[in-house]
Amino acid sequence: MRQHRIVLLPGDGIGPEITAVTKNLLIALSQKSSFDLIFEEHPIGGTGIDSTGSPLPDSTLKACKNSDAVLMAAIGNPKYDSYPREQRPETGLLKLREGLGLFANLRPVKVWPALLGSSSLKSEIITNVDLMVVRELIGGIYFGKPKGCIETENGERAFNTMSYSSNEIERITRLAFEIALNRRSKVCSVDKANVLDVSQLWREKVSSIAKEYPQLEVSHLYVDNAAMQLVREPRQFDVILTGNLFGDILSDEAAMLTGSIGMLPSASLSSDGPGLFEPVHGSAPDIAGSNKANPIAMILSAAMMLRIGLKETEAADRLEEAVDQVLSEGFRTVDLMEESFIELGCKEMGEEIMRVL
């Protein structure tokens, strides 16, 4: 029997609720298939700070490194906003990404036919949208040095550095290109090369690697234009390749094409070690504990984990099909609600998906 060791990181806010639902589905799937899942749970983010003083306890990072895949829910709570940066939940997630070498963040944005009416955009704009944001995850302005805040004669001055080396650009570009070869063979690289030196190097590198991939159609957009094109004509995109900050912003924008950020999964990958699979949304502290959260982004992240991280393709298909069926039957969490549909809580949505699994 195949065995997979999974580290679960429920984190903060709605994290524990959506984790419980997802874990139940994974257990049921493994029982129906011929593999075993061994779960370990560890604190991260606010729960890490509260239990050990660190948003990424050493024991959590160690367990993640020793796992076959990491499935995280969400981190963050405004109660830590006044803490020093080292002791904020977000720092735990950034350190985990860095510690596992997760340079590539894959965010598929697929419009589900059943949810066409839930988007704030017109359905004729979003029908058949199927794109993938490939975001560089451990470089750029999130990690660039120098950074900090200094006293000057004109008061405080704070700064970050946006930098990319050609090696960093090359590895994310090659990965995006390989992904595109298995899709519609189109890559749009997004930068701000009309203003930023770092983007100029980015564009040069992407263009030069593109010469090795004549099968691909590679184009470039400035980030401001890309933001506009995403809502103007999103079907023009297949793979969007971009850096850390632009990818963060554009993926939230792209999420709105699907109706709710509660639908968007992601996979973060390194060159060899375990991947980290997590919903794109945050911890939603305002609805935590009220059974209102949409667990689907995490369930779809679990499907990405099965497919990409554990190579359990059949189980991944099954889980995605179950989500599709439940949505087609008219079941919705509150974030997706429209008139005449059936509103469910987080737990009940999990039960419906379990029923059709």
**CA distance linking residue 349 with residue 336, whole number of Å:** 12
Instruction: Give the Cα separation of 270 and 101 in Å (integer).
Output: 5
142 is catalytic: yes
Torsion angles phi and psi, residue 103, rounded to 5: -80, -15
Check residue 297 for interaction with ligand IPM (CB under 6 A).
no
Question: Is 121 in a helix, a strand, or coil?
Answer: coil
Angle formed at CA 47 by CA 46 and CA 53, multiple of 5 degrees: 80
Query: Which lies closer to ligand IPM via its Cβ, residue 94 or residue 227?
Result: 94
Residue closer to ligand IPM by CB (options 90, 351) is 90
First-to-final CA distance of the chain: 21
Site of tokens 């004669």:
153
All residues at 6 or more sequence positions from 20 whose CB lies less than 8 Å from its CB, including other chains: 10, 347, 350
- The CB-of-90 to ligand IPM minimum distance in angstroms stands at 4
Instruction: List the one residue out of 26, 64, 92 whose CA is nearest residue 322.
Output: 26
- Which of 142, 222, 238, 292 is the catalytic position? 142
Residues 57-76 that bind ligand IPM (CB under 6 A): 76
Catalytic residue among 50, 130, 252, 324: 252
Find which of Mn ion, ligand IPM, none residue 90 binds, CB within 5 to 8 Å per kind.
Answer: ligand IPM
CB 248 → ligand IPM: shortest distance, Å? 5
Contact residue for ligand IPM among 17, 248, 335, 352 (CB under 6 A) = 248
Q: Residues 31, 1: contact at Cβ < 8 Å? A: no
Q: Is 168 in the site for ligand IPM (CB under 6 A)?
A: no
**Rounded (10°) CA dihedral 160, 162, 168, 170:** 170
Which of 12, 191, 238, 248 is labelled catalytic?
Answer: 248
- Output the smallest distance, CB 209 to Mn ion, in A: 26
Q: Contacts with ligand IPM in 81-110 (CB under 6 A)?
A: 90, 93-94
Judge whether 241 and 186 are in contact, CB under 8 Å: no
> Is the C-alpha dihedral spanning 257, 261, 267, 268 positive or negative?
positive
CB of 94 to ligand IPM, least distance (A): 6
68 is catalytic: no
Q: In the complex with ligand IPM, which residue's Cβ is closer, 94 or 308?
A: 94
CA angle, 239 then 324 then 318, to 5°: 90
Please give the structure tokens belonging to residue 10.
Answer: 């429920």
Within residues 275-294, the interface with ligand IPM by CB under 6 A covers: 280
Residue 248 engages Mn ion in binding (rule: CB under 5 A): yes
* CB contact at 8 A, 179 and 239: yes
Is residue 136 involved in binding ligand IPM (CB under 6 A)?
Answer: no
Residue 238 as a binder of ligand IPM (CB under 6 A): the answer is: no
Per the annotation, the verdict on 272 as an active-site residue is no
Of the residues 192, 205, 222, 292, which is catalytic?
Answer: 192
Q: Indicate which residues carry an active-site annotation.
A: 142, 192, 224, 248, 252
Residues that bind ligand IPM (CB under 6 A): 76, 90, 93-94, 248, 280
Query: Which residues are at the interface with Mn ion (CB under 5 A)?
Result: 248
